[in-house]
Amino acid sequence: MPEHTTAVSLLDRLLHHAQVVVTSGDSYRMREARNAKGAAIKAS
């Protein structure tokens, strides 16, 4: 985003009627990235 206010305005419009769901634990992408990184280190 070119400016901070542009990003804030965009998020405000997107989240105006949204319901925020807070979860705990590792995300699928983070877990996969860690596994891929470990596999790359073992392969070296």
43 against 24, higher pLDDT: 24
For residue range 3-42, list pLDDT tens digits in order: 899 999 999 999 999 998 888 888 889 889 989 877 776 6
> What's residue 4's pLDDT?
92
2 against 11, higher pLDDT: 11
> What's residue 1's pLDDT?
60
Q: Tell me the domain boundaries of the chain.
A: 4-43
Per residue in 9-41, is it b (16+ CB within 10 Å) or e — as a string? eeeeeeeeeeeeeeeeeeeeeeeeeeeeeeeee
> What's residue 42's pLDDT?
64
